């Protein structure tokens, strides 16, 4: 029982990151109908910036949490800058063009792989612990650092959900994802909404990056692993569906955690793929997918 | 569909390629030539599935299955080169038929992403089998000693044959069905075409070639490891298709020749392969949406054989 609770808690922690990741992917797909493979690199830029600045800020005499906040802001700004750049000079021309946008994003992935490796070097970086200590919840041990991660992910997901359902921007985003032509006809400025949707998604990835930097080893290729899991989560949940992304993320995280514990981490990866095949057999558009 | 290549031109190109493969003696240049031929085959396989409007990112997995099949047959069972490569193609075709039968119910982004996930899962799977060398891969995959000097010629002949098969298939009734599926699958189905079956057949045919390409890769390099068959393999093949021009049969071949030559040159300068391929793809999609051949066609260097007006974009 103790083990089960501990594993459940771990699954939730991993799931929280996947949720942030897959929400961005699903949002971009819903609004622009494109598959964004660069999402992992936006995440990586944020994580790398934190890992790059944090140690020197701490050495400069700042306390860890303050240094972390400063480095995180820098990371988020860098990631958003990159997101704006690739939207304005790339994806803007490939909206609703699945193959074209995918090819562009593969090109960007290869290019950014090279750039990140040059700028940050190939070495993995450790980040000092920001929030020391651990708490015990129902017998499961969780570090404060990871608890903080879960809380922020939860707040972000809730905020996105609230934004989509209650604000004017959210209504426009939903309208565009249902039928962008009808939305434009009733006066929704599609290109501006698409840009905002892309930036919100980039923000989600950036936040995931700065949250994850202190709890994992950061390297320029860190994004790909999360990208694969994020995509599998949205395939299972259904592309374009926000509840689907959350459901899929928790599902993938659970299989990964329990599979790694009872079998082996590489068998867990295979098990996740097996689950995708089974889901596709019954729901070719994902469990909560539409259109 | 109207863009047929002059048969004389085809014989000239193929004959020229075969002649070069016979005459070339320099060890390094021979390896570049082998790489070009195998890359052109992979890119053409990718493009063949693109004819029906789907991106087959599982290509990396199927190339790997072919390579591991040939490698295992050769090193563990002593199967000779020719039989091993042919078996690699057949096993891969079978595997891709099963994969296609399950996944081709999904379309567009789902099919693409599932292929990507499949490639990564298969890569993990190789490392779990001790018989396949685990994470370090397999070594010592050699053709018979007598064939050694003839390898570039053999590789080139196999590639030319398979490319010819792709060309014939594309310009047959089956090719027309694939175009119809890309333009509007529902309409194609409504006139009585079993589109699902056609898609499965198309992917297994394309992956037969990918399996053979993988088998050739194994024998040419003598060493294979799981890392050779990550999704990057499919990304590079996509770069060849895109840079050459996906609307024309020669596109992937031209793209492979250009980019492999360029990357061999860049590697000699200490450059980074990723930079090059990434940059080439971005430049191609932003500035030359129809690739090098499409741009040349616009300039009418080739008597404008690129007239077909069907838009390449799906969905």
Residues 6+ apart with CB under 8 A from A253: A11, A12, A14, A15, A18
Residues of B in contact with A277 (CB under 8 A): 102-103, 114
CB-CB contact of A220 with A113 (8 Å): yes
| Predicted pLDDT at B307 | 46
Interface contact flag, B278 A93, Cβ < 8 Å: no
Phi then psi for residue A138, to 5 deg, are: 50, 35
Domain annotation covers residue B278: no
- Is residue A38 within 8 Å of residue A109, measured between CB atoms? yes
Residues of A with CB under 8 A from a CB of B: 29, 33, 35, 90, 93-94, 96-100, 102-104, 106-115, 117-118, 228, 231-232, 235, 239, 266-267, 269-270, 272-273, 276-277, 280-281, 284-286
Instruction: Report the 3 state secondary structure along A162-226.
Output: HHHHHCHHHHHHHHHHHCHHHHHHCCCCHHHHHHHHHHHHHHHHHHHHHHHHHHCCECCCHHHHH
B312 located within any domain: no
B227 interfaces chain A, CB cutoff of 8 Å: no
What is the predicted pLDDT for the residue at B163?
96
pLDDT of residue B269: 65
The answer to whether B110 contacts A232, with C-beta atoms less than 8 Å apart, is no
Closest B-chain CA to A291: B107
Q: Closest approach of chain A CAs to the CA of B53, in angstroms? A: 9
Q: Is B271 on the interface with A (CB under 8 A)?
A: no
Q: Is residue B95 part of a domain?
A: yes
CB contact under 8 Å between B118 and A273, yes or no, is yes
Confidence (pLDDT) at A228: 86
**What per-residue confidence (pLDDT) applies to B306?**
46
Is B16 part of a structural domain of the chain?
yes
Measured distance CA(B238)–CA(B232) in Å, rounded: 9
Name the domain count of chain B. 1
Q: Considering only CB atoms, which chain A residues are within 8 Å of B238?
A: 103, 106
- Report if residue B35 sits inside a domain: yes
pLDDT tens for the 291 residues of chain A, in order: 788 888 988 899 899 999 999 999 999 999 999 999 999 999 999 999 999 888 888 888 888 889 999 999 999 999 999 999 999 999 999 988 888 898 899 999 989 988 888 888 777 777 777 888 888 877 778 888 888 889 999 999 999 999 999 999 999 999 999 889 999 999 899 999 999 999 999 999 999 999 998 888 888 888 888 888 999 999 899 988 999 999 999 999 999 999 989 988 888 888 888 888 888 778 888 888 764
Residue B62's alpha-carbon distances to A228, A248, B79, B280, in angstroms, are 19, 27, 20, 25
Distance set, CA A6 to CA A9, A10, A161, B136 (Å)? 5, 6, 28, 34
Nearest to B108 among A98, A270, A280 (CB): A98
**What is the per-residue pLDDT for B310?**
44
CB contact under 8 A, B282 and A111: yes
**Are A285 and B105 within 8 A, CB to CB?**
no
- B-chain CB neighbours of A280 within 8 Å are 102-103, 105-106, 110, 114
Pairs of CB atoms within 8 A across A/B: 129
Which DSSP letter does residue B248 get?
S
What is the domain extent for residue B159?
7-230
> CB of B285 within 8 Å of any CB in chain A?
yes
C-alpha–C-alpha distance, residues B49 and B224, integer Å:
26
Q: Which residues does chain B have within 8 Å of residue A112's beta carbon, measured at their own beta carbons?
A: 278
- Judged against a pLDDT cut of 70, whether residue B182 lies above it is answered with yes
Lowest pLDDT segment from A116-130, A134-148, B40-54, B207-221: A116-130
Task: Check if B103 contacts A (Cβ < 8 Å).
Answer: yes
In a domain, B264, yes or no: no
pLDDT score for A190: 92
Nearest chain B Cα distance for residue A90, angstroms: 8
Output the 3-class SS for A53-71: HHHHHHHCCCCHHHHHHHH
pLDDT computed for residue A279 by the predictor: 85
Task: Kindly state the tokens that stand for A282.
Answer: 């019954």
Task: Please report, rounded to a whole number, the percentage of residues in chain B having pLDDT higher than 90.
Answer: 58
Q: What are phi and psi of A108, to 5 degrees?
A: -65, -40
What pLDDT does residue A90 have?
A: 93
Q: What pLDDT, on a 0 to 100 scale, did the predictor assign at position B3?
A: 59
Distance from CA of B32 to the nearest CA of A (A): 22
Buried b or exposed e, range A133-160, using 16+ CB within 10 angstroms: eeeeeeebebbebbbebbebbeebbeeb
Cβ within 8 Å, pair B282-A113: no
Tell me whether residues A33 and B103 touch, CB distance under 8 A: no
Q: Give the C-alpha separation, A91 to A130, whole Å.
A: 36
B79-131 residue pLDDT tens: 999 999 999 999 999 999 999 998 998 888 889 988 988 998 899 889 888 88
| Residue B184 falls inside a structural domain | yes
Residue among A225, A240, A222 nearest A272 (CA): A225
Asked if B272 and A104 come within 8 Å (Cβ–Cβ), the reply is no
Q: Are B297 and B256 in contact (CB under 8 A)?
A: no
Dump pLDDT digits (tens) for B226-256: 999 998 899 899 989 989 998 889 999 999 9
Handedness of CA A109, B138, B34, B41 (dihedral sign): negative
**Interchain CB distance below 8 Å, A280 and B106:** yes
CA nearest B110 in A: which residue? A235
Partner-chain contact B108 A276, CB within 8 Å? no
Q: What is the mean pLDDT of residues B248-272?
A: 85
> Which ipTM did the prediction report?
0.86
pLDDT of residue B270: 62
| Structural domain includes residue B248 | no
A contact test, residue of B114, B241, B251 with most A CBs within 10 A? B114
């Amino acid at each position: 029982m103790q083990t089960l609770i501990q594993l459940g808690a771990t699954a939730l922690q991993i799931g929280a990151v996947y949720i942030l990741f897959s929400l961005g992917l699903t949002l971009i797909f819903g609004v622009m109908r494109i598959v964004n493979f660069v999402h992992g690199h936006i995440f990586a830029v944020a994580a790398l910036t934190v890992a790059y600045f944090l140690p020197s800020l701490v050495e400069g005499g700042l306390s860890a949490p303050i240094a972390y906040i400063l480095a995180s802001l820098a990371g988020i700004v860098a990631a958003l800058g990159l997101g704006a750049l690739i939207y304005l000079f790339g994806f803007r021309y490939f909206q609703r063009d699945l193959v074209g946008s995918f090819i562009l994003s593969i090109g960007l992935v290869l290019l950014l792989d090279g750039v990140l490796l040059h700028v940050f070097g190939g070495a993995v970086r450790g980040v000092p612990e920001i929030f020391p200590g651990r708490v015990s919840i129902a017998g499961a041990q969780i570090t404060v650092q990871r608890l903080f991660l879960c809380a922020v992910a939860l707040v972000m997901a809730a905020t996105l959900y609230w934004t989509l359902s209650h604000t004017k921007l959210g209504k426009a985003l939903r309208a565009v994802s249902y039928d962008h032509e009808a939305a434009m006809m009733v006066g929704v400025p599609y290109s501006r909404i698409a840009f905002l949707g892309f930036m919100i998604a980039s923000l989600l990835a950036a936040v995931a990056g700065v949250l994850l930097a202190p709890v994992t080893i950061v390297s320029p290729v860190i994004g790909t692993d999360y990208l694969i899991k994020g995509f599998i989560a949205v395939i299972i949940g259904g592309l374009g569906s926000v509840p689907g992304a959350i459901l899929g993320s928790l599902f993938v995280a659970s299989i990964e955690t329990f599979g790694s514990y009872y079998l082996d981490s590489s068998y867990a990866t295979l098990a996740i793929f097996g689950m995708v095949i089974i889901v596709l057999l019954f729901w070719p558009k994902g469990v909560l997918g539409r259109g | 569909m109207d863009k047929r290549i002059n048969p004389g031109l085809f014989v000239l190109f193929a004959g020229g390629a075969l002649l070069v493969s016979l005459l070339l003696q320099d060890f390094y240049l021979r390896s570049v030539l082998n790489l070009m031929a195998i890359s052109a085959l992979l890119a053409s396989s990718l493009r063949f599935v693109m004819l029906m409007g789907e991106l087959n990112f599982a290509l990396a997995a199927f190339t790997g299955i072919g390579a591991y099949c040939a490698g295992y047959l050769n090193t563990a069972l002593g199967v000779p080169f020719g039989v091993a490569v042919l078996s690699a193609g057949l096993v891969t075709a079978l595997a891709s038929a099963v994969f296609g039968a399950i996944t081709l119910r999904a379309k567009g982004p789902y099919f693409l992403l599932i292929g990507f996930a499949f490639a990564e899962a298969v890569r993990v799977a190789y490392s779990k089998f001790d018989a396949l060398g685990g994470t370090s891969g397999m070594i010592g995959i050699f053709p018979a000693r007598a064939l050694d000097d003839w390898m570039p010629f053999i590789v080139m002949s196999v590639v030319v044959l398979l490319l010819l098969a792709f060309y014939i298939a594309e310009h047959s009734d089956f090719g027309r069905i694939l175009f119809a599926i890309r333009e509007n699958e529902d309409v194609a189905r409504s006139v009585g075409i079993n589109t699902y079956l056609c898609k499965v057949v198309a992917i297994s045919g394309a992956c037969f070639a990918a399996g053979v390409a993988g088998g050739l890769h194994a024998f040419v390099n003598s060493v294979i490891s799981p890392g050779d068959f990550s999704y990057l393999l499919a990304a590079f093949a996509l770069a060849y298709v895109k840079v050459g021009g996906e609307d024309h049969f020669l596109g992937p071949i031209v793209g492979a020749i250009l980019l492999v030559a360029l990357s061999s040159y860049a590697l000699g300068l200490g450059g980074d392969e990723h930079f090059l391929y990434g940059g080439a793809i971005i430049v191609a999609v932003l500035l030359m949406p129809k690739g090098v051949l499409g741009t040349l066609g616009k300039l009418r260097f080739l008597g404008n054989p690129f007239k077909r007006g069907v838009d390449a974009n799906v969905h």
